[in-house]
Amino acid sequence: MTKKLSPPATAHVDSPWDDAPVTPQEIIEVAEAVAGVIPKSISNAEYDMDGLMTDFPTAKELERFVFDETGVVLNLKGRANKLKYQTAMDVLNGVEVDPKFIGSDNPYIDRTELIPVEDLKPVPDRDRHLPEPSQLQNIFVSNVIPHTDFEARMQDKKISVYFRKYKSGEISYEIVGPIDQRPHGVKLDKFGRERPEVIKWVDPRSGEQTIVRNDGTLTPQGRKLRGLMQSFKVNNSNQWDTWIDREFISLGGDGVTDVWDLSK
C-alpha cells in the first residue's frame, strides 16, 4: 500500500517568480521616493557650529565666508559667540534670520582705509520776507556768474543762479549748484601711498534770498548782483533790465483784439 506524503505545514519554498508580500509602510516609502519627498529624518544641513567655530574664529572671517557662500551681508561683530555662529549657520542652511543681523557693507571693505566724506550741509532757509511762490511773475536762469568759492573761481568755474521777480516787485536770487567734492589734507595709507584726509563738499547753494525788497531798496548782496547782471549786455540794454527786472503788461479777452479800448 502506497502512502501519500505531503510536505510539513511549516515548510516553505521560496520562488524567484513569486511576489514577496509588501507591507503598507513599504508602499508609502516607495511612493514618497518616486514623488521626490525626502524623509524627515534626513537633514539637509551642510554646516554645523563646531565646524564654523574651528574654521572661522573671528566675526570678520565668519562674515566673509557667509558672504562668499550666500551673498548675504551679516552684522555679527560684538554678538554673543553662540548667537553669532548660530546666525551664520542659519543663513548658510537657508533659514531666515532676524533682519537686525543683516548688514549693508561689503565685509571685505575695511572702513579704516576709506576716505571719510564730510556731511553735506542742508540748504539755507528761504528768506521769510519774500512773497509766496504762487506770486511769481518771471524767472531767469544764469549760468555765467563766477563761483562763490575762491579756488573754484580761480579755475573760472561758474554757478547756476535763479533770479525771480514777484508781482509785488520783490526780486530774489537762489544759487542752486553745482555741488562738487574736493580732497582736503594728505596722509599715508598702510601701503605708504598718499591719500586725502577727508573729502569736503564745495556747496554754493544759497536758498532763495532777497535782492530787491518790497519798498524798492536793494540788499547789500543785491547791489553787487544787480551791478554784475547790468554788465552783461543784451543789444542796447543788459540782462538785469531785459530778463530780470522786467515789466509785464497783462492782456486778456477783448484787450488782445482792441488795445485802444481804455474802458476795459
Partners of residue 201 on adjacent β-strands: 181
Helix count and strand count (H, E) for the chain: 8, 10
pLDDT tens for the chain, 264 residues long, are: 555 555 555 444 444 444 455 555 554 554 455 444 433 333 345 777 777 887 788 878 877 888 888 888 887 777 887 787 888 888 888 788 777 778 777 777 776 677 788 889 999 999 999 999 999 999 999 999 999 999 999 999 999 999 999 999 999 999 999 999 999 888 887 777 888 888 999 999 999 999 999 999 999 999 999 999 999 999 999 999 999 998 875 444 454 555 555 565
- Phi then psi dihedrals of residue 141, to 5 deg: -110, 125
In angstroms, how far apart are the furthest CA atoms of the chain?
A: 154
Write down the pTM of the prediction.
0.58
Q: What pLDDT was estimated at residue 226?
A: 94
